[in-house]
């Protein structure tokens, strides 16, 4: 049974009617796709699990690239849409499951992919998810993920405040203008999270936490980089617009199972 915040997550995703209009599309927003690049030279025989399929954007690529694809989501609605749209891809198996319990996948896989789908703010929940990922990954297998960045929220606020000061605002007035935005955010020992998505609380990650949590879950060789978004797409989705400055980003992560 899914309880608490995770239950609200499921209810939210089940309620999505037009994915492209209602959900920030990571793949459309990215300057380039680091997940595809990381998968480029992997053997055809590999079996992969894709956690959080969403609209299914990556499924045709994964199906053609690998021998078996487990498409996992806790939204039956999104899975049913993908099944209908990608019916010709016969090596995709659709799994309706909570990421905290992935026992429906009966074999270990070579690669697990998660693109902004490890979102619960609870330490207990996110550790359950990471340990489930570790458990289902073969020894020396690969985790490839994009995780929401906590740092970039503060970076955006800095740029917004600097911009106001350049326009003639006093520092005090500029800071006050952004107090409401910061009040919607929550800094706590649990990490950084937000209530932006209708009443669901989602997790944002710090690099030191990513390393700590993945190592604790049984991963090694952890590498963290930035997956940059186009400023034009950020502007259209109210995430700020500062062309000429370093772009907005989420964390691109790879790690090996011990």
Whether the CB-CB separation of 226 and 251 falls below 8 Å is answered with yes
- The pLDDT assigned to 183 comes to 63
Q: Kindly report, residue by residue over 50-99, the tens digit of the pLDDT.
A: 999 988 999 999 999 999 999 999 889 899 999 999 999 999 999 999 99
Q: How confident is the model at residue 184 (pLDDT cuts 50, 70, 90)?
A: low
- The pLDDT assigned to 245 comes to 94
Q: Where are the domains of the chain?
A: 4-149+202-257
Q: Is the pLDDT of residue 6 over 80?
A: no
Distance from C-alpha of 107 to C-alpha of 123, rounded to nearest angstrom: 27
Whether the CB-CB separation of 14 and 232 falls below 8 Å is answered with no
- The pLDDT assigned to 169 comes to 95
- The pLDDT assigned to 219 comes to 98
Instruction: Check residue 246 and report its DSSP letter.
Output: P
CATH architecture of 4-149+202-257: 3-Layer(aba) Sandwich (3.40)
Instruction: Look at residue 215 and give its three-state secondary structure.
Output: helix
How crowded is residue 197: how many other Cβ atoms within 10 Å of its Cβ?
A: 16
- State the helix-helix crossing angle for 76-85 and 4-15, rounded to 10 degrees: 40
Q: Kindly report, residue by residue over 89-125, the tens digit of the pLDDT.
A: 999 999 999 999 999 999 999 999 999 999 888 889 9
- The pLDDT assigned to 203 comes to 84
Please report, for residues 13, 22, 65, the alpha-carbon distance to residue 83 in angstroms, rounded to integers and kept in the order given.
16, 20, 18
- The pLDDT assigned to 115 comes to 96
Q: Kindly report, residue by residue over 114-155, the tens digit of the pLDDT.
A: 999 998 888 899 999 999 999 999 999 999 999 999 888 889
Burial of 172 (0-12, 13-18, 19+ CB in 10 A): exposed
Q: Kindly report, residue by residue over 186-245, the tens digit of the pLDDT.
A: 555 455 555 454 556 778 899 999 999 999 999 999 999 999 999 998 887 778 899 999
- The pLDDT assigned to 1 comes to 39
């Amino acid at each position: 049974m899914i309880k608490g915040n995770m239950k609200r997550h499921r209810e939210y995703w089940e309620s999505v009617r037009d994915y492209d209009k209602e959900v920030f599309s990571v793949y459309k927003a990215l300057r380039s796709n680091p997940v595809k690049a990381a998968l480029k030279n992997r053997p055809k025989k590999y079996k992969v699990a894709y956690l959080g399929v969403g609209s299914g954007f990556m499924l045709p690529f994964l199906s053609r690239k690998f021998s078996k694809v487990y498409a996992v989501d806790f939204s039956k609605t999104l899975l049913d849409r993908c099944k209908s749209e990608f019916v010709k891809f016969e090596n995709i198996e659709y799994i309706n499951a909570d990421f905290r319990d992935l026992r429906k996948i009966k074999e270990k896989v070579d690669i697990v992919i998660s693109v902004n789908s490890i979102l619960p703010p609870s330490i207990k929940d996110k550790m359950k998810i990471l340990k489930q990922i570790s458990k289902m990954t073969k020894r020396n297998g690969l985790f490839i993920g994009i995780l929401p960045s906590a740092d970039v929220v503060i970076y955006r606020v800095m740029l917004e405040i600097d911009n106001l000061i350049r326009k003639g605002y006093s520092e005090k007035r500029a800071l006050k203008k952004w107090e409401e935005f910061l009040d919607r955010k929550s800094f706590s020992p649990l990490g950084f999270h937000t209530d932006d998505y209708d009443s669901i609380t989602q997790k944002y990650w710090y690099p030191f936490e990513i390393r700590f949590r993945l190592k604790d879950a049984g991963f090694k060789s952890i590498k963290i980089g930035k997956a940059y978004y186009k400023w034009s797409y950020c502007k259209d989705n109210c995430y700020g617009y500062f062309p000429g400055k370093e772009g907005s980003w989420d964390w691109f992560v790879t790690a090996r199972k011990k």
